[in-house]
Structure 1
Amino acid sequence: MKQKPYHHGDLRNTLIEAGIELINEEGPGGFSLRKVAAKCGVSHAAPYSHFKDVQQLLEAMADHVTEQFTLSLQASVDGQDEPMSAMEKLGTAYIAFFEQHPAYFPFLFFQSGITIQVDGEEDVPPYPPFAVFRTTGCRLFRSLGLPPERDGKMLMAYWSLVHGVASLLSSSGIRYSGKWQEVWQVILQSGGTER
């Protein structure tokens, strides 16, 4: 599909979004500022007014997705006093985020170079969206009377469920006539609270 030429507006974000699409299509080897500019229909020099090189654009792309993802997850749990309700809302927001931005999933988890430490102490701050997930999960686990030493396994179990749904909906060859967000809710209702 031919891209519409860029005429006005926020060129920086246009380059970021086009970069995410391009790297998903061609991989890192086919990624360049020149190709992103062409995808946006701007001159080859235009990206340099926002990014000094391709690495800076890649970092901006990762930051862009991370910030939006974190805000979406945090908003879903704000004001949720009941831990299981908070986890349900969080998982629903996780899935909805990638439903709204399907190109973000392969970029974030296969191209961006992020590292997510699920359990144990970290030398670096945790990846922000997963920090929201971890905090919400641990609050739920304490409410269920589970000991902290089980947090790693429980986080992996819950994350595998919600991430799996997001992965399936982001796959171009998988069709499902139902609502993806309801799949997560069914999972929680059918056994997600088992100890």
Structure 2
Amino acid sequence: MKPKPYHHGDLRNTLIETGIELISKEGLGGFSLRKIAAKCGVSHAAPYSHFKDMQELLAAMADHVTEQFTASLQESIEGQSDPMSAMEKLGTAYIAFFEQHPTYLPFLFFQSGIIIQVDEGAEDVPPYPPFAVFRQTGYRLFRSLGLPPELDGTMLMAYWSLVHGVASLLSSSGIRYSGNWQKVWQIILQSGGTANETDCP
């Protein structure tokens, strides 16, 4: 396999991106600094100028994806005064993010070690930034629909399941679909995303 080229001074990000691609395809069992260095076309010692060990690289990979994911979601809801429109834009950005970076999803949710506390109030688990944006947008929508706060957790999981389900499908290498994934999300939202308190026990 031809080594991936990198621009001078950008080896750190190249190692991170190559690491994400490798671990998403081969899992932790196929992950090592030596293998990443080989794929980047640098010496086995080169990664150690940026990361002291594999754990530090893994943490940097998780931060790299999290920062981009959070920024994408935040940007999508800026200036959205209508709560339903904000949720639609948020879901669109969620899906688009993983369309652009399909290897990010399996890494982030299955290999990075992140913990997402769905319910608020767990002091031992800091809020995961992208999900905090999603939760805030969801709560805003639920209040506009007149839903009681006791349904927040159930409704939040329902909406997250919808958008994350689409993102998971499009990120799967074994699923081939020639249609528009964004259209799938919009149809789901229009047909089932306007639930009210009479739809939930």
TM range (shorter): over 0.9
In structure 1, distance between residues paired with 2:14 and 2:58: 13
Answer whether contact 1:5 1:42 (CA < 8 A) is retained.
Answer: no
Alignment RMSD (CA, Å): 1.2
Unaligned segments of structure 2, at least 5 residues: 197-201
Q: Can you list the C-alpha shifts for 1:41-79, whole angstroms capped at 9, x where unaligned?
A: 001111111111111000000000000000000000011
Does 2:77 match 1:80? no
Which runs of 4 or more aligned residues in structure 1 lie more than 2 Å from their structure 2 counterparts after TM superposition?
1-9
In structure 1, distance between residues paired with 2:7 and 2:121: 48
Unaligned segments of structure 1, at least 5 residues: none
In structure 2, distance between residues paired with 1:8 and 1:177: 38
In structure 1, distance between residues paired with 2:27 and 2:126: 28
2:32 alignment partner AA: S
Q: What percent identity do the matched residue pairs reach?
A: 84
**Segment of structure 1 superposing worse, 24-33 or 65-74:** 24-33
Aligned to 1:58: 58
Please state whether the residue corresponding to 1:177 is helix, strand or coil.
Answer: coil
2:40 alignment partner AA: C
**Segment of structure 1 superposing worse, 175-184 or 95-104:** 175-184
In structure 1, distance between residues paired with 2:161 and 2:145: 19
Aligned to 2:92: 92
Does 2:13 match 1:16? no
TM-score between the two structures when normalised by the length of structure 2: 0.93
1:145 alignment partner AA: G
Aligned positions of 1:1-195 closer than 5 A: 1-6=1-6, 8-123=8-123, 124-195=125-196
In structure 1, distance between residues paired with 2:132 and 2:53: 30
Q: Can you list the C-alpha shifts for 1:108-165, whole angstroms capped at 9, x where unaligned?
A: 0110011111124121321000000000000000000001110000000000000000
TM-score between the two structures when normalised by the length of structure 1: 0.96
In structure 1, distance between residues paired with 2:5 and 2:144: 53
**Segment of structure 1 superposing worse, 29-38 or 4-13:** 4-13
**What is the CA distance between 1:190 and its match in structure 2?**
1.0
In structure 1, distance between residues paired with 2:3 and 2:151: 49
**Segment of structure 1 superposing worse, 132-141 or 182-191:** 182-191
In structure 2, distance between residues paired with 1:143 and 1:31: 46
In structure 1, distance between residues paired with 2:55 and 2:174: 31
Q: Can you list the C-alpha shifts for 1:10-60, whole angstroms capped at 9, x where unaligned?
A: 110000000001112221122111111111000111111111111100000
In structure 1, distance between residues paired with 2:96 and 2:6: 28
